């Protein structure tokens, strides 16, 4: 079975997709919803395959299909946008 999609808080809420392509499509559809819900400014490029996120004083390139991001400033990268959002949420509360 391919890797499961993102954008939920509980593992048992994740839908199961027959192919990775289906999971990536779901991620691309859900990414703007998640970002709007979290008041993250972003611009969409390449029909939603690439999003540019504006978080705090940083700009991130984000590819929702594979759930990959990279900071333009620090070159920090990762594969869990939920973790990135949690990190900046904690920093903004301090």
What is the structure's pLDDT at 4?
43
Q: What is the DSSP string of 55-92?
A: ETTEEEEEETTTTEEEETTT--EES-HHHHHHHHHHHH
36 Ramachandran zone, left/alpha/beta (phi>0; psi -120 to 50): alpha
Task: Give the domain extent around 46.
Answer: 14-93
pLDDT, position 62:
96
- pLDDT at residue 74, rounded to an integer: 94
Q: At 76, which CATH number?
A: 3.30.457
Give a yes or no: residue 7 inside a domain.
no
Regions of the chain short of the pLDDT cut 70: 1-15, 90-94
- Number of separate domains in the chain: 1
| Position 37 in a domain | yes
User: What is the model's pLDDT at position 12?
Assistant: 56
């Amino acid at each position: 079975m391919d890797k499961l999609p993102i954008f939920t808080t509980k593992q048992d809420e994740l839908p199961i997709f027959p192919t990775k392509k289906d999971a990536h499509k779901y991620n691309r559809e859900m990414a703007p919803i998640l970002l709007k819900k979290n008041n993250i400014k972003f611009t969409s490029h390449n029909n939603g395959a690439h999003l540019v996120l504006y978080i705090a004083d940083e700009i991130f390139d984000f590819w929702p299909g594979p759930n990959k991001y990279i900071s333009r400033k620090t070159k920090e990268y990762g594969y869990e946008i939920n973790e990135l959002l949690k990190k900046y949420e904690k920093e903004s509360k301090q």
